[in-house]
Structure 1
Amino acid sequence: MAQQYGLIADIGGTNARFALVPQVAMEEGTLALSEQHVVAEQTLNGADYATIADAIQFYLAQLPAEYAQPTRGCLAIACPTDQDWIKMTNHTWAFSVSELKATLGFEELRFINDYHALANSIPYLGAHGAIKVGGGEPMPGKPMAVTGPGTGLGLAALAFSPVGPVTLETEGGHAHFAATDKTEMQIVEFLLQELPRVSSERLISGMGLENIYRALCSVRGVAAQSLKAPEISKAALAGSDAVCVEALERFCAVIGSYAGDVALTFGAKGGVFIAGGIVPRFMDFFKASAFRQRFENKARFESYNAGIPTYVIVSAQPGLLGAAAVLNYDWQAA
């Protein structure tokens, strides 16, 4: 019998990454899955296609003859996916999942949130897919959490049961930011002049780093330049601007405090994983920052968090890997 493949994707506001994954074996509740199973990868610019159906059909038409056309799919997408009608937050694509399934002639088609995919990638990242920062060791079978700065601040967790993993999707990045010292209170006060409330995402994201920089310029009495997050990071790493250095240090610190709260909230003794494209750009700076100290600094629960490991995801395509895992779980259940 020919090898069966399913369609997987990681669809963001700019790029739509597609690939195939075979049906893999399940052993004691764990898939025999790794990044090497993700094949025929292709990244498309979403702006080049009027509809998501156009993009998918283009990808499928380009597949090498060695791969049979898939009839099952699991696509991760950066927006809510709990309704049949999906409208992307940062893209013009809007569509009915059931109509798209019919258009493609698929037997099964599922859309999941991008952080749902990231959570399910964690058990399959392998030795080189994540870098450990600080101490602690994972406890087998305990919940794992994934969060991290990107365009926004996502948050999800993976718990385990006798019937398999259970994904907890949340909007925890939009919960209120908790200041820990006078400087962070001043940053919050600065942002409250512009916003009705200050969520964690307002500090822990690309725009969050920019907000921290602008607020610190105000606090320090210096003129803020019109700098984007990559420019702030570059100046901080070069040591060419003292406020940029302070902003990036503060950015890493608040990620630590927030991630520590995530660990407490989920009881994430399996580990807390930092995702997103920002932190891997300055790993040495991040490791030397107050991130881990702030993660553990939970007063009476310091020893609790000290035992929980933290990692930065550096896998090239964790979204595709997570979609591959979810597709295979569904395959096993069919």
Structure 2
Amino acid sequence: MRTAVLLYRLFDVADEINLELVERILSMEKVTSRLKLSRVPPKSIHIENPPVGVELGNDRIAFGGSDYEVSFYARIYDLGVISIIMHIFLPSAFGYEDFKQFAVILEQQIEYEQYFMAQLNKLKKTLLPALMGSSIGDYVEDFTVFFFTDWQAQWDPLPLLLGEEGPFSDWVRKDTLQHSYSYTPEDLIIITWDSALVYDASGSTELPELLEFANSQLLELRYYDGLLSGEMEKMYSDLQSIEQVGSFARLRHYRRIMGRLMQVVTEVTDITERIQNSVKVTEDIYYARIYSAALIIFRTKAWMDSVQRKMALIQQNYSMLSDEIVTARSTWLEVAIVLLITFEIILGLFSAFH
């Protein structure tokens, strides 16, 4: 690929997507492919179920008053994510000042978002039979990659990465450039939390694809963190309302809440394991370091910790409800025993007097 700007929008659209069915549906009209990192040994980075990629077509979109040719591409992930990529073709005559102005325009302009939604809605309609479960909200991740096949050492990457003219303080410069990596004199990658600059003289887009994969994991963790927050609010609300019903009816409500909590815990445990196992890094190679750095920059671990903390709270409440039910059953059993003993005493007395 030649020098371009890649705009990513990742959407959570389902609990799970059947990728085999996706391939069958899309292959009727389009050419599909599976993500494959061809420049690394197959066993170094293993992708459990590679996403399905498909070209969606070309268009022309105005940025800053000028029309640019764009192409749309999608990747569908089994975790329930659809990624729409807008590939903006830049004129070959573009110089550094042009790149800088374009980055500022991208930061300020929002009209082009409608094109992502149009592509997403069309694709969701096509893939409806392959979508399993429904999303609980509008969870979206956006990411921008400035891709160069020719990068000059004297060019300043900060205006591109931050979408601002500058000037920038030394602290901002140091903080922005701290995650810079290079393997040869002809490649460079700088990663920030919502953008990256990738220079690869060969034109390979594997590093942007790896960043996209890390973003899909982040999106899913955000989704399930939100799901658990909603379940916890519902749980506390239900427990509060149950306090007003009788003790016998309360046990029935407790069992209903416990059933729902166990279902949520089982589902989230399964999906978090799949997220963690979706990419297995077995060797300390260049790509692995970039992937690990991306997870840190995107704060993926913080979201995973939040999910696990909420899971622990839910399991705690499950144990408390279980103890409450056991205690209530023991109490009712003791009452029943006392009643039986009392009944036997009354029968004995009744028999003695007659």
TM-score clears 0.5 = no
Q: TM-score, normalised by structure 2?
A: 0.27
Q: TM-score, normalised by structure 1?
A: 0.28
Name the structure where helix makes up a greater proportion of residues: 2
Bigger Rg, structure 1 or 2: 2
